[in-house]
Structure 1
Amino acid sequence: MSSPDAAASRRPAELALTIGVYVALYAAMMPLIRVVTLSWWVLGALALTGAILAAGFVARRFRLPAIAVTLIELVVWVALLTGMFLADTALVGIVPTPETVRTVPALVSTAMDAVQLGAAPLDPSPALSFVIVGSMGLLAIAIDHVVLTARMPLLAAVGLIAISLVPSIAVPGPLDGTAFVLLAAAILFMMRVETRSREQQRGRDAVDDPATIRAPAQVNNGVSATALGIGAVAVIIAMVATPLLPAPTASGIGGTGVGAAIDPSLQLGNDLRRPRDIEVLTVRSSAPAAPYLRAATLSKFDGAVWSPDQPSSVPLGDASLGPVTADPDIRVDEYTTTVEVKNLNSAWLPVAFPAVAVTGLEGAWAAVPTNRTVIAQGASTQGQTYDIVTQVPRPTLEQARSHSASAAGLSDDTLSLPADLPPVIGQLATQVTAGATTDYDKLVALQTWFRSSAFRYSLNAPVEAGFDGTGADAVAQFLDVRAGYCVHFASAFALMARSLGMPTRIVVGYLPGSNTNTSIGDETVYSVMSSQLHAWPEVYFGGIGWIPFEPTNSLGSPTSFSPGSLTTGVPGSTAAPTTGPAATPSPTATQSTVDPNLPRDDSFARSTATAVNPLPAITAVLGILLALAIPGLIREIRRRQLLAAARSGDAAAAWMSVQDAAIDLGIPVPASESPRSLGTRLVDEHGAPPDPMTVLIGGIERASYASGGHHGFWQGDELADAAAAVRTGLLASADRPRRLLAIAAPRSLIVRPGSAYAGSGAGSGSHARAR
C-alpha cells in the first residue's frame, strides 16, 4: 500500500491530468460548432463536463475506489442534466421522476430526426442540445476513467481524436486549426504528466534499493520528452501537409464514403476542383430536354453563408408533394424523369423540379412539400433507381412579364439582406437593369450580363484572388474580378435580385449531364458526372411559382420564354434551365439594352490573372523549417529541465545531461560502462574538462552507492554547473559538422543511454583502454 506522502505527491499529477482531460474534451467538441449553430449548449456542455471532472477529482482525494468515483460522476451527470433540461418534471429541479424518464426517449428521437433530416448548421433545439450536452457528459465520465483511473491517456487520445473527426466527415470544410492544435497539445500534456508521474513513483519505490536508482533515471527519464517531440513534430507536419493533400473522393452532408456526395452548404469549390471525375448517375426524361436535378434549396443569408432550408417534412407517399398550382391561364406540362444512381451516397435525393411524385425508392424517405425536395430517413441514394413526375408551368413571354416577383406567402428569408451588404451589389443591379421595365426583363438583363464576355468561368481565380466563398464581401470581389464558378454567379445574381426587391433562393444539384447517344424507348440517356455538381438561383413569381435562372457563364442554357404567338398549340421553351447549346433570348424577350462592359477598374482582375500568389509556398517553407527546428528545441527544453533537477540536488539528472550530450555527438554510452569509466573516457578522448567531470562522478556515485543516497551532502548548484561545463567542453572538441548535427538533430531524443544504439558509434573500440 502506498504511503501518505506518496498519495499526497500524486495529487498534483491528478489535478494536471484532470485539467488536461477538460481541455481535451473542449477541443474535441469545437468542430461540432460547424454542424450545430453556436448557442448556450456549448456553455451547458462545458459546465457539465467541468462538474463531472471536479467531482471525480474530489472523490479521488478521499481515496474512494474507482467504482465509487464513477458512480458519483454518474449522479452529478443525471442531476445537472435534469436541472438543465427537465427541471419541470423533476423533484427540486434535479431529481428525476418517472415522468422525467418517460420524456427522455421522445427528446432523443426528436434529436435524431433533426440530425437525419436537417442540414448543417442545425438549429440547437432543446432536444438536440439535450443529446449533445448529455453525450459530452458521458464522454467526460468515460475519458476520466480511462485517464485518471486506468492511467491510459493514449487510449483516451484515440477516442477523442475519432470524436473530433466526426463533424469534419459530416460537413467537409477547412481544417479547424485551433481545435486541432489544442487537442494535440492537451493529449501530449496528459501523456507527459502521466509518464512523469510513473517515473516519480518508480523513483520512490526504489529509494531504499540503491542498485535500482540509476537504471530508472537512465531508461525512463527521457521517455516523455521523446513522446512530446514526436507528437509535436506530427502536429506541425499535419498542419503543413494537410492543405497540400488532394481532396478525398467523397464529401458532403449525408455521404458515408462510398461514391460522391452532395454538399448543400455551397462549399463546392474543392468538389469541382477534384482531379478525379466519376459518373454519379444517369437520367432520361420525357421532357423536351434533360432537366436539372435539385438536392436542396438555400434561402437564408446572414452575410457570410447561405444556409440550407430546413422546412417540415412528411413521409414520402403518392400525395405527399401535392400538385403544382399556377394561374388558370398558365399552361402546365407533365413529364416523367427516370434516374439511376451509379456513385452517389447522400441523404439528399436528386429530383427534377417541380416534382409532384417520386416512386421506386427503397428505404424510408421524407418529402418536403414547400421546396419539393426528398430527404432520406433511413436510406441512401446509392444504387437507387426511381421515377419523378413533374408538372412544369410554361408561361408565355407576355405572361411572365405581366406577373411580378412577389414574396407573398414566402418566408422573410427569401428577401432579407445583411445590413452591411457592400453597396456595389445594389449599385450594379440598378445599372444593369436600368433599361428594363418589368421584373422578368430585369432578371433576364442580369442573366444576359453575367453570361456575356464581361465574365468568365474559372475554378482557380477565386482561390488566387482570395474570394473562394459565398459571403457578401466575396460576392463584391467577384463582381470586381468577374471570374468565378457557379457559386459566385448564383450568389451574386440572388443578392442583386434581392436588392431590387425580388424574392430569391439558391438551389444545389446537378447539371443535366451529357448525351450518351443511347436511348431507352424514345428517351435519350444522359450521364451526369461528379464535376457537374452545380448551384443556380431561383426567383419566385406570384401565379407562376419559382423560376430558375442560369447566370453561370458558359454553363447550361439561359432561361427565356417565347411569345404567345409562337407557343400556341406547340410545346414551348422550358422555364427550367436546359442543356445543349446556350439558347439566346429572342429579340422580344427583353427590351432593355445592357452594356456588358459597364465601367469598372480592371487592374485587379488583370493582376490576379497573371500574378502568382507566393503565400502558399512561403507558408510551406516556413512550416518545414519550423518542423526541422522542433527536435533541437525539444532537446534544449529537456537539457534545461535536467539542469533544473540537478540544481535541486538530483545527481542522476546531472549525469543524464552528460550522457545525452555524448549521445548527440555520436559518443558511445553502453550499459556495461560505469560512470567513472565513461567519465574518464570523455576526459581522455573527447575533450571533457577533468575537474567538472570529477564533481559529476563523485555525485552520481554517492547517489547510487552511499547509504541514504545524497542526503546530508548537498551540492546542487555545483552539479548543474559541472554538467553544463562538461557539455560545453564536449561540443567545443567536436568538429563543426558533428557539432551542428548534435544541435539540430539530437540523437538523444530517440537513443537512450545503455540501449543497443547508444553502445555503437565513434570511439567504441576504446572502452577497455579507458576502463
Structure 2
Amino acid sequence: MSATGRPGMAARFGARAAERRGAWLSTLAVALCLGIALSGLAPLLQGVTWWFAAMAMIVAVLGVSAVLRDRGAPEITVVAVSAIVWGALVILLYAVDTLWFVVPTFDTLRDIAADLADARFSIAEQESPAIAEGPITQLLVMAVGLIAIISDELASGLRTPVLAGVGPLALLAVTPLITEGTPDLLLYVLTAAAFLLVIWCSSRIGRAPRPGRGGRNPGLAVAVGAGALAAMIALPAVVPGLTAESLADDGSSSRFPSVYSSGVDPTIQLGRDLRRSDPMLSLTYSTDAEDGLYLKMVNLADFSTDTWQPERPYQADRYRGGPFGTPQGLAPDVPVTAQATTVSIAGLRSDWLPLPYPTQQVDELIGTWMLSPGSFTVTELRGDTQGLNYEVTGLDIQPTAQQLADAGGIVPDGFDRFLEVPTGLDPIVAQTAAAVTAGAATNYDQAVALQEYFRSDAFSYTLTAPDATAYEGGNAQMIPAFLAAKEGYCVHYAASMAVMARTLGIPSRIAIGYAPGQSADRTSEGGRALYEVYTDQLHSWPELYFEGVGWLPFEPTPGLDFTPPDYSLPDYAQSDAGNPGAAAEAPETETTDPAERPDTEQDAPATATAEQAVLAQVRGWGTFLAVLGGIALIVLAPLLLRRARRARRVRELASTGLPATLAWIELEDTLDDLRVQRSAGDTLDDLATRLAGDHLVPEEPLARLWRGVEWEQYARPGSADDATRSGLADDLRTVIGALEAEATARDRTIARLLPVSLLRRRRSPTPAGALVP
C-alpha cells in the first residue's frame, strides 16, 4: 500500500472506532442476556458444566467481536473473524485429532458431523433431565456460539437490537416446548431485563444521539420493551385461555399426536398422550392375522442408571430393504406363522416406525431408515412418520410350553446388560419378586407368575397415578411407590415386571408402541381385517428373553380388555403338559423367505385410510404454508410499510403546500435507511455537496430539491404549479435512484428489510422547522 494510502485507511478505521464508541457495552449486554436465557435449559440437562462450556464459547467469540469493533475493523471483518474463531474452537475442542498439522481435513468434518448425530440420538433416547454427555454439550456449545455471533451483530453491528432478542427467545422456548409445567417467571423477567439493557446499550453506541437517526431514542426503545414485558406478565392473569393449564397439550383436533417427537423420555411423552381428552387417530392397519397386533416402536433396554433408556440407535445399520434376519434366540423348531400387514400413518409424528415384533421385512418405505439388529426397531432422524404407507411381513411366534420350560435359566453371552439394575434399587422390589414367584421351577414359570400377580384384583389401572411428579415414567424410585399404591398405567406395570424379572435372572426390556387398536367394522380391499389405532392406545409392555425361543411379550397391565398371549397364561403349560404330543403336532412352520412370502402388493389400504392420509397431508401442508406465509409477512412488513409511505408522499407532492420540504423529508428517511452518515450541524447545502461528492448523486436535481426547501422554509410561501411539483417528484426519484445504485447490495438489502426510518417519530412538512423531528 502506498504511503498516501495508509493514512486514509487509518482515518477510516479511526472514524469507525469513534462511531462504535461504547459498542463493547452492547456486546457485554448480549452475553449477559444469552447467559440468563441459557439457564432456561437447566430443567432439561443435569449438572452445570454444559452452561460453563457454552458461556466460554460466548465469551470467546464476543470478546473477539468487541476488540475488533473497538479497533475500527469493518463489520464484515468482525463477523468473519468471529466465525473463524468459533470454527477453530470447535475443531480444537472436539476434533483436534483429525487435523493434518494445523489444517482441517475431510475427517474433521466427518468427525464433527458424527458427533452431532450422536447428540441427536442421545437427546432422543434420554429422559428429562438428560445427562449432558459430550455430544450434547458439543451441540449446545456450537449452537449457542452461532447464536451469540448473530445476536451481537444485530445489536452491536447493524444496531437493530430488537431483532437480537430472537436468540435468547429461542433458548427460552426450548424447555416449555418439551416439558410440562409453568415456566419459571423469574427467569423470563431477568432475561427480559437483560434484553432491555441490550436495547439501551445498542441505542447509545457512538457519539451523542442525532435527530432523525433510527435506533437512537433509548428512552422510547426501553419504554416499548418494558411495556411488552409488562404485558407478557399481566395478560395471562387477566385474559382467559392464556394460563399454563389451558396451553397444555389437551389433544385438540388442531394438534397431531406427538408421541416421541419432543425427543425427551418416551415414557413421559406416552403418559401425556394417554391423558389427551380427545383421542386422535394415529394410524390404521390391515392384517391377515387372526387378531390385532401390538405395534412396537422402541425398546427401553438400558436400566444401569436410575431411568430406563432406549437401546442405542447409533449401533444400528442403515436399512436399504430386504429381510431383517433371524430374531435373537429363536430356534428353528419353534412354530411360527407369517403375517402380512399394511400400515398407514395418519397423525403420528415419531422417530420410530410402528412395527409388529418380530418383523421380517418392510416394503414401500420412503426415507432413510436405520435398523437396530437386536431389537428389530427402525429409526429415522427426521422425527415425522406422518403420511407413511408401508407393507410389513412379520412372524407370529407360537412356542410350546415344553420349549419354554426347556429354556431353563440360560442367559447367553452378551445379555448381561438385560439383567442390570441401578445401584441402590430398593430391596423391596427383589423381595416382592421372590415372594410372588416362590415355587416356580423355571424362568418361564416365574414370568407367568409375575404377570398373574399384576393382573390380580389387587392392582387397578388409572391414568391419575398419585404424586405425578415422582411417580411418572419408569424410574427406579417409581417402582416401590407403585408396588405400594398398586395403581397406575401401562408404563408402571411394564417397568415393574421388567425390573422384577431382572432381579430373578430373566433378561428383560420394555417395549413402547401401540396396543392392537379397535376393529373398524369393515375390511380392506384385500379382505383383511382393518384396525384403527388412536392416541389413547399408546401402550407399554415387557418383553422377556428365553433362550431357544427369543424375546416374548407379556401383558401385565389389567383393566384394558387386552388378552395376554396364550403362552403367558397359567393353563397353557398345564394343557400342553397333559398332551405330550403337542410339540410334535405343532403347526408347521411357515417360511419367511421373501421369495415365498404372501403376495401383499395387491392389497391397497382402505379408502378411509387413504382419505385420512390425504387429509392429514393437506392439513400439514396448510399449516406449513400458513406458518411460512406468516413468517414472510413479518419479514416483509417493514419493506411494505416503507414503500407505502414513500408512495404516499410522492402522491402528496401534487397537493401539499410544501412539496419540496416533503420531498426532502423522504430523502432524509432514505439516507437513514441506507445508513448514510452525516453531521447534525450540516446545512442543506453542505449535505447536498457531500452527497454529490461522496455518493455520486447528480448535482442539478439535488440542488433543485434543497433550493426548493429553502424557499418554502424561509421565503414568502406560495403555491407551486403542477410542472414544479412534477419536476420535484422526478428529481426525488433521480436522487434516490442514484443513492441506491451507489450503495452495495448488502446495504440496499438492509435498507429495504430493516428501514430504521420507521422507528423514529414521523414528521410533517411545516414551515420553519420541518426538518427537525
What's the TM-score bracket when you normalise by the shorter of the two chains? Answer: 0.5 to 0.7
1:293 alignment partner, one of 281, 295, 307: 295
Deviation of the 1:542 alpha carbon? 1.1
Aligned: 1:323 with 2:321: no
Q: Report how far residue 470 of structure 1 moved.
A: 2.2
Counterpart of 1:67? 76
2:160 to 128, 139, 152: 152
**Correspondence for 1:54:** 63
Whole-Å separation in 1 of the counterparts to 2:261 and 2:383: 11
CA contact (8 A) 1:503 1:539 kept: yes
5 Å-filtered alignment, 1:264-275, equals 264-275=266-277
Matched, 1:353 2:361: no
Shift, 1:333, TM fit: 2.4
Distance change in 2, residues 1:194/1:342 (3 Å): closer
CA shift in 2, pair 1:229/1:279, >3 Å: same
With over 3 angstroms needed to count, the CA separation of the structure-2 counterparts of 1:35 and 1:265, relative to structure 1, is: farther
- Partner SS for 1:366: strand
The one-letter amino acid paired with 2:413 is: G
- TM-score normalised by the chain length of structure 2: 0.63
The answer (yes or no) to whether the contact 1:515–1:524 under 8 Å persists in 2 is: yes
> SS where residue 391 of structure 1 aligns?
strand
1:715-753: CA deviation from partner (whole Å, max 9, x where unpaired): xxxxxxxxxxxxxxxxxxxxxxxxxxxxxxxxxxxxxxx
1:101-500 equivalent positions in 2, closer than 5 A: 101-111=105-115, 113-114=117-118, 119-121=124-126, 132-162=140-170, 164-165=172-173, 169=177, 172-174=178-180, 177=183, 181-182=186-187, 185-195=190-200, 198=203, 221=219, 224=222, 227-228=225-226, 230-231=228-229, 234-235=232-233, 241-247=243-249, 249-250=255-256, 252=258, 255=261, 264-311=266-313, 312-324=315-327, 326-376=330-380, 380-404=384-408, 406-463=410-467, 467-500=471-504
2-side partners of 1:102 and 1:176: how far apart? 45
Q: Secondary structure at the match of 2:347?
A: coil
Aligned CA distance change for structure 1 residues 28 and 102 (closer, same or farther; 3 Å): farther
Partner of residue 537, structure 1: 542
Task: Check whether the contact 1:107–1:127 (CA below 8 A) recurs between aligned residues.
Answer: no
- How many residues are treated as equivalent by the alignment? 552
Cα deviation, residue 415, structure 1: 1.4
Kept in 1, the 8 Å contact 2:490–2:539? The answer is yes
SS in 2 for 1:471: coil
Q: Residue 461 of structure 2 contacts residue 488 of structure 2 at CA under 8 Å; is this kept in 1?
A: yes
SS in 2 for 1:390: strand
C-alpha spacing 1:287/1:366, structure 2 compared with 1 (3 Å)? same
Q: Distance in 2 between matches of 1:123 and 1:465?
A: 19
Select 1:504's aligned residue among 482, 492, 508: 508
Look up the equivalent residue of 2:547 and give its one-letter code: G
Q: Which amino acid aligns with 1:402?
A: D
1:124–1:234 CA distance, 2 compared to 1 (3 A): closer
Q: Aligned letter for 2:317?
A: V
Alignment equivalent of 1:85, drawn from 73, 94, 112: 94
Shift of 1:68: 3.3
Post-superposition shift, 1:299?
0.9
Unaligned runs of 5+ in 1: 207-211, 574-753, 756-771
Q: Is the 8 A contact 1:110 1:128 kept in 2?
A: no
CA deviation profile, 1:443-463 (whole Å, cap 9, x unmatched): 211111111111111111335
* Cα distance, 1:201 vs structure 2: 8.1
Aligned to 1:594: none
Q: How far did residue 393 of structure 1 move?
A: 2.9
How far off its partner does 1:174 sit? 2.7
Contact 1:299 1:504 in 2 (8 A): yes
Give % identity. Answer: 30
Query: Is the alpha carbon distance of 1:250 and 1:32 closer, same or farther for their aligned partners in structure 2, counting shifts above 3 Å?
Result: farther
Question: How big is the alpha-carbon RMSD for the aligned residues of Structure 1 and Structure 2?
Answer: 4.1
Contact 1:322 1:356 in 2 (8 A): yes
Alpha-carbon contact 1:300-1:413 (below 8 Å) kept:
yes
Secondary structure of the corresponding residue to residue 559 of structure 2:
coil
Change (3 A) 1:481 1:252: same
Distance 1:548 1:235, change over 3 A: farther
Structure 2: how far apart are the matches of 1:287 and 1:127?
43
Q: How far does residue 61 in structure 1 lie from its aligned partner after superposition?
A: 3.1
Of 103-112 and 53-62, deviating more is 103-112
8 Å CA contact 1:348, 1:374 repeated in 2? yes
Offset at residue 358 of structure 1 (A): 1.1
Q: Give the deviation of 1:426 after TM superposition.
A: 1.7
> SS of the residue aligned with 1:268?
helix
Instruction: Give the counterpart letter for 2:79 in structure 1.
Output: T
**Closer, same or farther in 2 for the Cα pair 1:231/1:482, shift >3 Å?**
same
Cross-structure match for 1:761 = none
**1:18 pairs with 17, 23, 27, which one?**
27
Distance of aligned partners of 1:465 and 1:35 in 2 relative to their CA distance in 1, 3 Å threshold: closer
- 1:199 positional shift: 7.1
Paired residue type of 1:56: S
Residue 557, structure 1, aligned to residue 555, structure 2: no
Q: Give the partner amino acid of 2:519.
A: N
Q: CA deviation at 1:182?
A: 3.5
Offset, 1:300: 1.3
In 2, distance between residues paired with 1:16 and 1:224? Answer: 16
Deviates more, 1:384-393 or 1:109-118: 109-118
**C-alpha distance in structure 1 between counterparts of 2:523 and 2:422, whole Å:** 48
Q: Point out where structure 2 has 5 or more consecutive residues left out of the alignment.
A: 1-10, 590-760, 763-773
CA–CA distance in 1 between the matches of 2:418 and 2:370?
Answer: 23
Question: Is contact 1:283–1:290 with CA below 8 Å preserved after alignment?
Answer: no
Q: Return the offset for 1:353.
A: 0.6
Q: 1:9 to 1:315 in 2, by over 3 A?
A: closer
Equivalent residues of 1:364, 1:379 under 8 A apart = no
Correspondence for 2:552: 547
Are the equivalent residues in 1 in contact too, given 2:19–2:205 (CA < 8 A)? Answer: no
The 1:300/1:266 distance shift into structure 2, 3 A limit, reads: farther
Q: Secondary structure at the match of 1:106?
A: helix
- Indicate the larger mover: 344-353 or 329-338: 329-338
Q: Which amino acid aligns with 1:156?
A: A
On the 8 A contact 1:110/1:127 being kept in 2, the answer is no
How big is each residue's C-alpha offset from its partner over 1:105-153, in whole Å with a ceiling of 9 and x where there is no partner? 3235434644676633399787776555333322221111112222333
3-state SS of 2:106 partner: helix
Are residues 465 and 427 of structure 1, via their aligned partners in 2, closer, same or farther at CA, if it must alter by over 3 Å? farther
Q: d(CA) in 2 for partners of 1:308 and 1:251?
A: 20
Change (3 A) 1:383 1:86: closer
Instruction: Give the counterpart letter for 1:504 in structure 2.
Output: S
Q: Offset at 1:55?
A: 1.7
1:147 to 1:379, Cα distance in 2 relative to 1, 3 A: closer
Question: Where does residue 749 of structure 1 map in the other structure?
Answer: none
- CA–CA distance in 1 between the matches of 2:180 and 2:566? 38
- Against the structure 1 CA distance between its residues 318 and 79, is the aligned structure 2 distance closer, same or farther, given a 3 Å change threshold? closer
1:523/1:9 CA distance change after superposition, 3 Å: closer
Taking a change above 3 Å as real, the CA distance of residues 86 and 378 of structure 1, as seen in their structure-2 partners, is closer
Question: Hey, what does 1:684 align to over in structure 2?
Answer: none
Quickly say closer, same or farther: Cα 1:571–1:20, change in 2 above 3 A. Answer: farther
Question: Secondary structure at 1:336's aligned position in 2?
Answer: strand
